[in-house]
Structures are given as C-alpha cells and as structure tokens.
Amino acid sequence: MRLHTAAPRTLVVAPNWVGDCVMAEPVFRALSASGRELVVLAKRPLHGLLGLFPGVVEAIDNRRDDATVAEIASGGFDEAILLPNSFRAAWMLSRAGVPRRFGYRADFRGPLLAPAIPRPRDGFRVVRPQIEDYRELLAAMTVAPPPDWIPRLDLPPELVERGRERLGRARLLDGDGALVGLQPGAEWGGSKRWPMRYWADLALALRRRLPGVREAIFAGPKEIWLGVRIHEESGKLHPVLGPDLDLAGLAAVLSHLDLLVTNDSGPMHLAAAVGVPCVALFGPTDRRRTAPAGGEAAGHVVLSRDLWCSPCFRRRCPLLHHGCMRGLGVDEVADAVERRLSPDG
C-alpha cells in the first residue's frame, strides 16, 4: 500500500527518441519545482538518461503490454502527463485507471484523456521550437513554466570523470588542441545524414586547417559501420566512440568536447544540454523546430539549404537527389568549425 505523501505522484510518459527526451527536460524541471514526485514511463535504453532529469525517482520499462499496464495500475499515481501524442500511450493509462491524464488531443485519443488539451497550432503548421510544445500541458496542470525552455543536464562529478577516463583510453587527452567530435549518424533515417564521404573529407580538412586538433567519431550501436567507414577513409587516426556507451555515459564523454559537428540527432541535443556548442547540419527537418537550444548565444551554428522541397520530413529523399544535405559543402562546414574555434569566434 502506498504511504500518504503531500507530493503528488506523477507518471511522465516520455517520448521514444533521445532528442525528444532531451528537449522535454524543461518539463521535468517545472514539474519537479512544483513539488511533484516523478516516475517516468520509457523504453529501457532511455532510463539512464532520464534518471539524470530533475525530480525523477523511478523508471518503468515501457514494454507496451499488459504487464506494463498492471505495473502502472499498482503505482498509486495521482496523475499522468503524456508527452508523446500516441494513441497507445493514452490507451494504456486509461486501462490502468490513472485518474487524471493530461495530453494533447491527437491520434483519435481524446476520449481516453482526462482532460484532453487542444494541440497548439499556428494555422496548420506548428512553427515554435519543439522544446516549448508542452507549455499548454503544464498550464492545464496549473504548473508554472520553467524559467527558460533550454534543456540542461547537470551531470554528477563521478559520471563526468568516467567520461574523461573514456577519452583517456582513446588517447584523446594528449595534446592541447581543440577536441572536436564528429557525429555522422541519425537513427531516424538516412535523409538526415550528411554523406559519409563528406565526413571523411571534413576530418582530413580539419587536420590541415587546425594543426593539433583532436577528433573523435561518435556512432551508436546501429551505426558503428558508418563510424568505422569514416575512420578508415580519413586515415584511421580518429577513434570511434559510442557503441559501448549508454546515454548517460555518452553525455559524459560529450561534455568534454570543445565542439560537436553533427546531423540533427539525439547526440546533438545531448551535447547542447551539457553545454557543448554544435555545428549542426539540417536538411529534411525544420531548424526552427529542432535546432540546438540556445542558438547563437550558446555558440551553436546551424547550416542548411533553403530549398523549395525542404523541410520534407521524409526518412529518404523522395526526389532522390538529397540536395538539402549534399548541397552543404565540406569547405562550408570546415569554415564554420574554424570560425567557431577561433579565439574571437
């Protein structure tokens, strides 16, 4: 039996993508500041990351089955906030009997929510940054918004030190040149990825332009092939990091970088949240929605092409030319890196 507590016990249904989770951090900050005890429902690989968020005391594995519903039903939750707009999430919480279920009316799930909040729209297109998408949900819960909508991850000192040790094992702590990460992957789909050959050429260009630069290639378990190809094509000098790291460990390693060159991806948002400036390459997605939070004030540079067909939000280029990403030249990206790393950059 759950003991009485003055703090509402709130279930937070997390998004399924790493970047979307990071962009939701201000919501956790606001809920925690209101005195709520937060339990997060998320896929297991996200638990280590979400455990770093303010107010999170427990995580439930979202297996999307009857066992998950039973675990939610036995959790003694006073309320839930649904960050993804999926029908399945609302259906599970309704079956579990959570009394108050705050979520946006979408995907025909309005009758399963209590209450269902109208989705914010500007005409037929949402144009505000995605990090602010949950503003109306917090208002419906009478929770004050966070002081700002910039995601931040405060890493424990021991985790930061583990990240430093991982860089040391890769021999990236030798020398005093800038430490630059290259993030060529994007799990959402191939259309987000700058071409592999361009990444290898960029690694070579940065070595020519910035003597002493230290470069690392970051790749997740599903994209290790991409990291290895770039490693080989650029002279086998830059270690590939990431496949053996969980998300908290990846954030710890990223926190030591001077700069990350990246596609629109989860690691881009992780790096920005730990205070690392990014040179971000955008093509099929909308920079107004998902650019690294903080913008130029935080040192971020966003490069994109204003083509008539972008952003298309397709996982593969429907026109086959992939001009939104191929049109970003290696020299243009290297120039942006060089400017950002210059003393007056």
Q: Tell me how many degrees the CA angle 246-27-2 measures, rounded to the nearest 5.
A: 85
Tell me if 202 sits within 8 A of 336, measured CB to CB: no
Specify whether 336 is located in the same domain as 268.
Answer: yes
Structure token digits, residue 149:
């909508």
Tell me if 86 sits within 8 A of 65, measured CB to CB: no
Alpha carbon 252 to chain centroid distance? 14
* pLDDT tens profile 158-198: 999 999 999 999 999 988 899 999 999 988 778 899 999 99
Neighbour tally for 118: CB within 10 Å: 11
Residue 103 φ then ψ, to 5°: -165, 165
State yes or no: pLDDT of 6 exceeds 70: no
Q: Name the strand (E) or helix (H) holding 111.
A: none
Task: Give the β-pairing of 100-104 and 116-117.
Answer: parallel
23-42 average pLDDT score: 97
State yes or no: pLDDT of 339 exceeds 80: yes
Specify whether 211 is located in the same domain as 256.
Answer: yes
* pLDDT tens profile 275-311: 999 999 999 999 999 999 999 999 999 999 988 888 9
Residue 302 belongs to domain spanning:
160-341
Pick from 301, 297, 253, 245: which is nearest to 274 by CA? 253
Specify whether 74 is located in the same domain as 210.
Answer: no
pTM of the predicted model as reported, rounded to 2 decimal places:
0.93
Task: Give me the number of domains the chain comprises.
Answer: 2
* pLDDT tens profile 108-147: 999 999 999 998 765 445 578 999 999 999 999 999 999 9
Helices (H), the chain: 18-23, 25-33, 47-50, 66-73, 87-96, 135-140, 157-169, 196-209, 224-233, 247-254, 266-273, 287-290, 323-326, 330-341
Q: Which of 105, 140, 175 is the last residue of a domain?
A: 140
Pick from 4, 50, 47, 17: which is nearest to 31 by CA? 50
* pLDDT tens profile 209-232: 999 999 999 999 989 999 999 999
Domain presence at residue 89: yes
**Spatial distance between the Cα atoms of 71 and 76, rounded to a whole number of angstroms:** 10
Q: What is the pLDDT of residue 64?
A: 86
The 3-state DSSP class for residue 98 equals coil
The region of weakest confidence among 14-23, 58-67, 167-176, 318-327 is 318-327
Q: What is the pLDDT of residue 251?
A: 98
What's the CATH code of the domain at 251? Answer: 3.40.50.2000
Pick from 52, 20, 22: which is nearest to 270 by CA? 22
Specify whether 201 is located in the same domain as 306.
Answer: yes
Specify whether 170 is located in the same domain as 50.
Answer: no
Specify whether 116 is located in the same domain as 173.
Answer: no
